[in-house]
Amino acid sequence: MNWAFKWLSSVSLGLILLSVCNISFANVLQPIIDDEQLTLSVQVKNESVVPKQQVLVEVEMSSTQPFEDAMVMPYLDLKNAVVKNDDQQVTRSARMLDGEKWYTQTTKLYIYPLTAGTFVIPSFDVAVALNNESGSPLKGSVSSKETTFSVQKPSSMETTNELVTGTNADFTLTTDKPISDAFEVGEAVVLTYQLTVKNSHMMLLPDVKVPDISGVEVYEKPVAKENIFDRLSKRNTAALTQAVTVVFQESGKLIIPSQSIKWWDTEAKQLKTLTTEPIEFQVGASGALIEDHDLVADITKFGSQYGVYFLGLFCFAGLSIDIVLKRRARPNSEEKTPAKIDVNTEIKQYKSAIEGQRFSEAVDHLYLIAGNRTFSDKLDSESALIWKQLLSYSFAKDKHKQPLTPQQAQILLSAVTNTESTSKPEGFDWRLNP
């Protein structure tokens, strides 16, 4: 009992001392706060705020005594809003007010409300350490007051939720190859959609919806979103990049349609539309057909001017060839037939490429096995899925890809070499994607 009494007394004494220390520590700065010589203010700088607009909040701590350390803002969580602390260092300054010198520390908060309504910035505490000439620094905390701001949704924004808000915005579509190039079936082009919005946050950017395009295989890469801070203008730009690989499956004219995104201009206070330009590709021999008329006309014109010279040159070349052929000991009069593709050899090379996980080489051999023609009509659901997987691996840059099994390769090969379904010869079709 004596031991238990001593232990209980020790614990009680420790708790009392700890409470006294906490009370003493908490009340160190209270007289300075009561005399209004240490303040913490929160001020909203925006007016007429709409959903997803950046709300700039300035937090300033002032004291008649110098600060020991820079203030550290706590994390604030607001419902239906994205809150971001300033990435820049706390700004320190000093000024004279009514003949008395004040020391200030200033930082910023960026709040992006997602909906209309009234938002409350709750009261929060900031740790403070003041310089004390007579001894150790005076440490404690100072509290802010609740601050409210309102968000209004204009009538023009009622019809859509998929929009961006900022002082400036841009939406573009580019390609990794010139669109004036002549493309063939099986070739690929990378389309890159890019959206940038000033004074916004990447979490507020909507995903780009890639349109359905007939006559191509589409492979989307993961969306990349980032915040880009400009130290000169001290503004944040939210950026989105969506890359899409398009593989041509049919010949003809192919059009990538335009895409649109709504944008609320916070400076003009208007709802605008960002639209990409449509892109047109010519796939197959259609480009050569278009230029055929002009080419024939040029040859005819050239021949009419220099016809006599061509005739003499043709006769001289004919006589020379005849003399050379007669002097040969063993003239070869047999016609050479064009070389044919050895399908069995291509099949072996295709299987070897699959075993070595050389997917781009396997795709080339598969097209040669099919006679340089598309074979989508021969594929069932299982083989079509394997074909898409093989194409995806051939254009992907990621080295950590799942291997394609020999069984899957054989299923795809059997579907391609199947002679039961007859494919129509390829030709130019102006009705493709009009």
Mean of the pLDDT values across residues 157-176? Answer: 91
Residue where a domain terminates, one of 283, 298, 323: 283
Same domain, 116 and 224: no
Mean of the pLDDT values across residues 284-313? Answer: 56
What percentage of the chain carries pLDDT values higher than 70?
A: 79
pLDDT, position 361: 85
CATH number at residue 184: 2.60.40
C-alpha–C-alpha distance, residues 50 and 112, integer Å? 9
Going across the sheet that includes 163-166, the strands are 163-166, 260-265, 270-275
Domain count along the chain = 3
Which tokens belong to 368? 């040669």
* 431 occurs within a structural domain: no
- In the predicted model, is pLDDT for residue 200 greater than 70? yes
Global pTM reads 0.60
Same domain, 72 and 99: yes
Mean of the pLDDT values across residues 50-70? Answer: 94
pLDDT, position 336: 45
* 382 occurs within a structural domain: yes
- Name which of 186-200, 287-301, 305-319, 364-378 the model is least confident about: 287-301
Which of the pair, 402 or 140, is modelled with greater confidence? 140
Same domain, 134 and 72: yes
Same domain, 181 and 255: yes
For residue range 98-137, list pLDDT tens digits in order.
888 999 999 999 999 999 999 999 999 999 999 888 778 8
Which of the pair, 352 or 2, is modelled with greater confidence? 352
What is the number of other CB atoms lying within 10 angstroms of the CB of residue 124? 17
C-alpha–C-alpha distance, residues 131 and 142, integer Å? 15
* 430 occurs within a structural domain: no
pLDDT band with cut points at 50, 70 and 90 for residue 71: very high
* 57 occurs within a structural domain: yes
Which tokens belong to 296? 């024939």
* 258 occurs within a structural domain: yes
Same domain, 168 and 132: no
Burial class (CB in 10 A: 0-12, 13-18, 19+), 84: middle
- Name which of 186-190, 253-257, 292-296 the model is least confident about: 292-296
Sequence-ordered list of residues with C-beta below 8 angstroms from that of 119, at least 6 positions apart, any chain: 78, 80, 81, 111, 113, 148, 149, 150, 151
pLDDT, position 409: 86
- CB distance 397 to 360 below 8 Å: no
Same domain, 57 and 104: yes
* 307 occurs within a structural domain: no
pLDDT, position 338: 47
Same domain, 123 and 177: no
Same domain, 66 and 42: yes
Which of the pair, 263 or 132, is modelled with greater confidence? 263
- CB distance 243 to 221 below 8 Å: yes
Residue where a domain terminates, one of 264, 283, 302: 283
Same domain, 147 and 177: no
Sequence-ordered list of residues with C-beta below 8 angstroms from that of 416, at least 6 positions apart, any chain: 366, 369, 370, 375, 378, 379, 383
Same domain, 274 and 237: yes
Range of the domain at 81: 29-151
Same domain, 199 and 109: no
* 302 occurs within a structural domain: no
C-alpha count within 13 angstroms, C-beta hemisphere, residue 394: 22
Residue where a domain terminates, one of 134, 151, 168: 151
- CB distance 245 to 398 below 8 Å: no
pLDDT band with cut points at 50, 70 and 90 for residue 288: very low
Same domain, 128 and 178: no
* 24 occurs within a structural domain: no
pLDDT, position 17: 58
